[in-house]
Chains A and B, each alone.
Chain A
Amino acid sequence: MSDEQRTRRDFMQSGAVAGGALLAASLRAPAVHAAGSDEIRIGLVGCGGRGRGAAADAVKSSPGVRVVAIGDAFADRVSETRERLKELGAAGAVPDERAFVGLDAYQKVIATPDVNYVILATPPGFRPTHLEAAVAAGKNVFTEKPVAVDGPGIRSVLATYEAAKAKGLGIGAGTQRRHELGYVEALKRVQDGGIGEIHAARAYWNQGSLWNKPRQSSWSDLEWQMRNWLYFTWLSGDHIVEQHVHNLDVINWAMGGHPVRATGMGGRQSRISPEYGHGWDHFAIDYEYANGTHMMSMCRQIPDCANRVAETIVGTKGVCELESGAKRYELVGGSAYKFTGDFTNPYVQEHTDLIASIRAGKPYNELKQVAESTLTAIMGRVSAYTGKALTWEEALASTEAIVPTALAFGPMPMPPVARPGQVT
Chain B
Amino acid sequence: MSVGRPAAAAALVALAELALCGPGTSGALPEGPAGAAAYTATVPGSSVTFEMAPVPADGTAPGFWIGRREVTWAEYDVFRADAQVKVQRADEPPPGADAITRPTPPYADEAFGFGKQGMPALSITHHAAHEYARWLARRTGQAYRLPTEKEWERACQKGGDARAVTEGRAWVRDNAAEKPHPVGAKPANALGVFDMVGNVAEWVDTGSSALYPQVAKGGSWMDEASASGCAARRVSDLSWNERDPQDPQSIWWQTDATFVGFRVVRSFEAK
Contact = CB atoms under 8 A, between A and B. Distances in A.
A307 B109 contact: yes
Interface string B162-193: 00000000000000000000000000000000
Contacts, number: 65
Main secondary structure of the interface of A (DSSP, over half): mixed
Contact of B107 (A207, A303, A346): A207
Given A52-B247, A57-B245, A208 B106 contact: yes
Nearest to A301: B105
A192 interface: no
Contact of A304 (B77, B108, B258): B77
B246 A50 contact: yes
A397 to B, nearest CB: 34
Contact of A325 (B89, B105, B108, B249): B108
Interface centre among B77, B105, B108 (most CB of A within 10 A): B108
Contact of A49 (B108, B242, B248): B248
Nearest to A51: B247
Nearest to B242: A345
Interface string A41-76: 000000001101111110000000000000000000
A418 to B, nearest CB: 24
A211 B112 contact: no
B254 to A, nearest CB: 11
Interface string B104-144: 11111111111000000000000000000000000000000
Contacts of B248: 49, 84
Contact of B245 (A53, A207, A325): A53
B46 to A, nearest CB: 13
A325 to B, nearest CB: 5
Interface residues on chain A, size class: 20 to 34
Interface centre among B91, B108, B247, B248 (most CB of A within 10 A): B247
Contacts of B111: 307
A205 B109 CA distance: 8
Contacts of B245: 50, 53-54, 57, 176, 347
A390 interface: no
Contacts of B89: 211
B109 A49 contact: no
B224 to A, nearest CB: 15
B113 A310 contact: yes
B77 A49 contact: no
Interface centre among B114, B243, B248, B258 (most CB of A within 10 A): B243
Contacts of B113: 308-310, 323, 325-326, 328
A345 B77 contact: no
B48 to A, nearest CB: 13
Interface string B210-253: 00000000000000000000000000000000111111110000
Nearest to B90: A49
Contacts of B108: 205, 207, 307, 309, 325
Given A49-B91, A49-B247, A49-B248, A303 B105 contact: yes
B72 interface: no
B247 A84 contact: yes
B219 to A, nearest CB: 19
Interface in B63-111: 77, 89, 91, 104-111
A206 interface: yes
Contacts of A310: 113
Contacts of B104: 211
B199 interface: no
Contacts of B110: 208, 307
Given A57-B245, A207-B106, A307-B109, 11 more contacts: A49-B246, A50-B245, A52-B246, A52-B247, A56-B247, A205-B108, A210-B107, A308-B113, A323-B112, A325-B109, A347-B245
13 contacts: A50-B246, A52-B246, A53-B245, A53-B249, A54-B245, A57-B245, A80-B91, A176-B245, A307-B110, A309-B108, A309-B109, A323-B112, A326-B114
- Listed from nearest, the 4 A-B pairs whose CB atoms lie closest are A52-B247, A49-B246, A307-B109, A53-B247
